[in-house]
Amino acid sequence: MAAVLCMADQPPLLVAVAPTGARKSKSDHPMIPMTPPELAKTAASCLESGATMMHLHVRDADGRHSIFPEHYTPALEAIANEIGDHMVVQVTSESVGIFDRHQQMQAMRSLMPESGSLALRELVPDDTAFADAAKFFSDLDSAGCLIQYIVYSPEEVDRYHQLIDAGIIPQARNLILVVLGRYRGERARLEDLSPFLARNTSNSPWMCCAFGSDELSIMHHVIQAGGHTRVGFENNTQLVSGKQADSNSQMVALTATAASRYDRPLANVRW
């Protein structure tokens, strides 16, 4: 059954946790969850700290990034056994330079998740991909999948609107993820957020993730601007003080505390 986020006059804050990512390992932080039991334990602690969504990455037997159902399913089952249906578990089709768009679509269709995070630049690289993308997005939407479309630049916000206008992206139940900074490269800067928001003319709820040590401070501004937050070790393992965070749940708890400062109640999930 698909998840529905409860909203009120003052939009509740959806806190998503991204605890692993596609590239990091225990060498980056010993508390990065890699196995289904570790992911389930992390989901439980982050739920208790205020997270409503978990952005899930899984690995194959050799520890490499995977998008295939045979690797997602054990993790999804472990998480469900640990926390039931109290959190939206969002899978990703991220290519990481490994999978082409056809492999991504096939994997997501086979899995049919309750929520999926999809990169526009990977699935709709040009106009020749319109027909495949439209059918893919429609299939997921019809199955009740809550789709989050990833935009990596302000220009991709324009692209998002264009694809809605062209009928490629269904208009209902969409989320947008604004990505600031890059993995092992450009660190997110607060001033990079405004150009994204200036171009967003849709009614789609938006979320932000930020690579680098300014992640948590940027989230304060996201909360004030009416956006939603994604925090966790995929993007950053440092506190505002510069010290290394203890756990993903600590990052979630600090974000939840910030929400209370700005009168944003935390979102919950109805089934």
What are 124-155's pLDDT values in tens digits?
A: 999 999 999 999 999 999 999 999 999 999 99
**The pLDDT value given to residue 8:** 42
Residue with tokens 């290394």: 244
Rounded mean pLDDT of 55-65? 96
Mention every residue, 6+ apart, whose C-beta is less than 8 A from residue 128.
none
When pLDDT is averaged across residues 162-168 and rounded to a whole number, the result is 95
DSSP conformation letters of 185-223:
SPPP-GGGHHHHHHH--S---EEEEE-STTHHHHHHHHH
pLDDT band, very low/low/confident/very high, at 9 (cuts 50, 70, 90): low
pLDDT at 6 over 50: no
Q: In this structure, are residues 7 and 267 in contact, taking their beta carbons and an 8 Å threshold? A: yes
**For residue 96, pLDDT beyond 80:** yes
Which residue type is seen at 149? Y
Give pTM, 2 decimals: 0.94
Q: Indicate if the pLDDT at residue 271 is higher than 50.
A: no
Tens-digit pLDDT profile for residues 98-130: 999 999 999 999 999 999 999 999 999 999 999
In contact, 238 and 245? CB cutoff 8 Å: yes
Percent of the chain with pLDDT over 90: 90
- Tell whether the torsion through CA atoms of 110, 116, 119 and 123 is positive or negative: positive
pLDDT on residue 10: 63
What is the helix, strand, coil percentage profile of the chain, to 5?
40, 20, 40
Instruction: Examine the pLDDT at 229 and tell me if it is beyond 80.
Output: yes
Q: For position 11, what pLDDT does the model report?
A: 85
The answer to whether 245 touches 237, Cβ cutoff 8 Å, is: yes
**What does DSSP assign to residue 105?**
H
Q: Rounded mean pLDDT of 30-41? A: 98
SS3 for 112? coil
| Residue 166 pLDDT greater than 60, yes or no | yes
- pLDDT over 70 for what percent of the chain? 94
Task: Tell whether the model's pLDDT for residue 207 goes beyond 60.
Answer: yes
Q: Which of 132, 128, 56, 139 is nearest to 93 (CA)?
A: 56
